[in-house]
A and B are shown apart, each in its own frame.
Chain A
Amino acid sequence: MSERERIEREVIRWLPENLRRLVADLGPDLEDLEEIRLRRGRPLAFTLPGRNLLVDWLVTADDIERTLQIITRGSLYAVGDELCNAFLTLPGGHRVGLAGRTVLQNGEIRALKEINGVNVRISREVPGAADHLLPHLIRPSGGAHSTLVLSPPGCGKTTLLRDLARQLANGRPGLTPGLRVGIVDERSELAACCNGVPQRDVGLRTDVMDGCPKARGIVLMIRSLSPEVIITDEVGRLEDVEALLEAANAGVAVIASAHAYGVSDARQRPSLGRMLQAGLFQRLVALKRQPHPGTVAEITDGQGNPLRRPVREVTARP
């Protein structure tokens, strides 16, 4: 299936008829489409690599209402909880972010009303994104090193983690026989579960705890699912430190990502600094966006000393 067909089948069908035509008008650009943005009363916008395209169509309240209805299959009532997180996940793992007015109760978001913005993010899987990195993260015994992946947003951390999960769980001849992997997917981005089914290939021996707060999820995983590796996105809160310590002491390797420009930068962040000081990680990997997302900028051991073997370029282009 070509990329164009895939986008048509998985994304465009969730739009109302009149918007479908506008997206189709993109022509060959459709294949690189990253986001479709609806903002009430403002032009329909497309995000393409390196540019934001505005289309000559003012998005109406009806467009947004219809889009929501189609995405929820006419069941807005059934997604109340998801609306509180301001996003929905489509089959295929595409994310729909929502903007509106939040209704608060005791400081918690109870509902999202008067939705005035919809952002359809087209997600792409990059099998093989972790190919070159994986050998550096495997112990001689076949287990995994605890690893922290660092980069600013948009450098391919999530894509990398997902492919690491897949390869670790499936096993790779000569490196690892295949490990029990547990994914704690707080923001439903790694496995992109839709009705409990992972929409992304996360491997044969992988369990997913979907929508679960990281710290709680890590503890639950260790207790009940006996993973050999736990993979989670965006650590960085103080409570995460304790959960990670728990995992380390239980002999479970943790592969996590965090926002930071590089290894030295990470030391400055209070929570990350503490994790590094505690020696939680044996490998630190920093990514950069140039020449393309997923490029490894540096890879060091847990103390920040560069590894002797250099890492070849990670090719992450789809």
Chain B
Amino acid sequence: MTIKLVGAIIVVGASSILGFALAAPFAQRPRVLRALQAGLERLETEIDYGLVPLPAALRRSARGLAFPASRLLETAADELETGDGLTAGEAWTRSLEHWDRESSWNAEDREILGEIGGWLGSSDRENQKRHLRHVLDRLKYQEALARDEQSRGERLFKYLGVLGGLALAIILL
């Protein structure tokens, strides 16, 4: 009887852990979207108030951000400074392509980020600010959606793990 009880506890425990592990990636996308917004907000400040040249502005904005938002901004700055004669937009696009595989943004997020390559650095202060505001609004909306998805997905997998384990244990007992 004791052995059966220990076995049942192990089964429930293992399946719960599996459930939690499957739920974890759902938290990733909102976190990345949040970090991206923080970075772009800082970029807006650097551009609008600081009039900081773009490579320096990108680096400053990247400081302290979570991966991959930090690396996205830094790589864009690197690309700009290689001296290959890239425009700011091209440098951004390259960086985005580089980090595509390792990041958890979805197609819609990707499209919003991709649009930045169309205007970054190529217009006056007011215009840059307007564009950045627009991107930030859309990312915020994406973040809200992602959070929604997160809470639903997380709950689903966590319950599934625990309850599945219980069901299995009962069947086996």
- Answer whether A and B are interacting partners: yes
Which residues of chain B from 81 to 110 have any CB-CB distance to chain A below 8 Å in the complex?
A: 81, 83-89, 91
Measured between beta carbons, the chain B residues less than 8 angstroms from A16 are: 85
Q: How many residues of B contact A (CB 8 A)?
A: 25
Do A70 and B91 touch across chains, with their CB atoms under 8 A apart? no
Q: How many residues of A contact B (CB 8 A)?
A: 18
Closest to B81 in A: A73
Measured between beta carbons, the chain A residues less than 8 angstroms from B128 are: 77
Which residues of chain A from 66 to 89 have any CB-CB distance to chain B below 8 Å in the complex?
A: 66, 69-70, 72-78, 80
Do B91 and A74 touch across chains, with their CB atoms under 8 A apart? yes
Do A17 and B53 touch across chains, with their CB atoms under 8 A apart? no
Q: Check A20 for interface membership: any CB of B closer than 8 A.
A: yes
Q: Check B152 for interface membership: any CB of A closer than 8 A.
A: no
Measured between beta carbons, the chain A residues less than 8 angstroms from B57 are: 75
Do B85 and A74 touch across chains, with their CB atoms under 8 A apart? no
Cα distance A151–B51 in the bound complex, in angstroms: 39
Cα distance A77–B89 in the bound complex, in angstroms: 14
Using a Cβ cutoff of 8 Å, how many contacts connect chains A and B? 63
Do A74 and B54 touch across chains, with their CB atoms under 8 A apart? yes
Which residues of chain A from 3 to 19 have any CB-CB distance to chain B below 8 Å in the complex?
A: 13, 15-17
Interface-lining segment among B25-33, B34-42, B116-124: B116-124
Choose among B81, B88, B125 the residue that contacts A69 (Cβ–Cβ < 8 A).
B88
Cα distance A20–B83 in the bound complex, in angstroms: 12
Q: Check B23 for interface membership: any CB of A closer than 8 A.
A: no
Interchain nearest-CB distance for B76 vs A (Å): 9
Do B87 and A75 touch across chains, with their CB atoms under 8 A apart? no
Q: Check B52 for interface membership: any CB of A closer than 8 A.
A: yes
Do A77 and B47 touch across chains, with their CB atoms under 8 A apart? yes
Q: Check A25 for interface membership: any CB of B closer than 8 A.
A: no
Q: Would you list 22 pairs from A and B whose C-beta atoms are within 8 A, ordered by A residue?
A: A13-B83, A15-B85, A17-B85, A65-B122, A69-B88, A69-B121, A69-B122, A70-B85, A72-B53, A73-B54, A74-B80, A74-B91, A74-B122, A75-B52, A75-B53, A75-B88, A75-B121, A77-B123, A77-B124, A77-B127, A77-B128, A78-B53
List chain A positions with a Cβ less than 8 A from chain B: 13, 15-17, 20, 65-66, 69-70, 72-78, 80, 111
**Sorted from nearest, which 7 A-B pairs have the closest CB atoms?**
A74-B88, A74-B121, A74-B54, A69-B87, A77-B125, A75-B53, A75-B54
